[in-house]
């Protein structure tokens, strides 16, 4: 069963992307591209859930199970991100 978490991604003035989530405390990921940021965020989310499950301290994220975690399905500010992805794709074709 896939789990869904909300992810907020913003482009910083330095030109990198920052991802955070209110659904998994401690989830912070940064990448040079949106794709890289999403991949890092997915890995960080899995690691955080695994660590909390191992320590049995998982009261805040009780509904999130690392064995069932598949990916990130909801992204806030998606219109801005899609525009940035189109720009990245155009630059990569050159």
Looking at residue 74, its pLDDT comes to: 53
Question: What CATH number is given for 6-93 in this structure?
Answer: 3.30.160
The domain spans of the chain are 6-93
User: pTM for the whole thing?
Assistant: 0.62
Strand 6-11 with 74-75, pairing? parallel
Q: How far apart are the first and last CA of the chain?
A: 40
Q: Is 52 helix (H, G, I), strand (E, B) or coil?
A: helix
> In which element (H, E) is residue 90 found?
helix 78-93
* Per-residue model confidence as pLDDT tens for the chain (94 residues): 467 788 899 989 999 999 999 888 899 999 999 889 989 998 998 888 888 877 765 455 555 555 555 455 555 566 666 677 677 777 776 5
């Amino acid at each position: 069963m896939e789990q869904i978490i909300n992810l907020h991604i913003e482009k910083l003035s330095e030109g990198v992307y920052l991802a955070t989530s209110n659904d998994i405390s401690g989830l912070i990921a940064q990448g040079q591209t949106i794709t890289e940021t999403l991949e890092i965020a997915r890995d960080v989310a899995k690691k955080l859930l695994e660590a909390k499950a191992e320590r049995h301290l998982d009261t805040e994220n009780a509904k999130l199970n690392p064995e069932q975690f598949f990916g990130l399905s909801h992204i806030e500010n998606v219109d801005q991100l899609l525009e940035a992805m189109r720009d990245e794709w155009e630059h990569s074709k050159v």
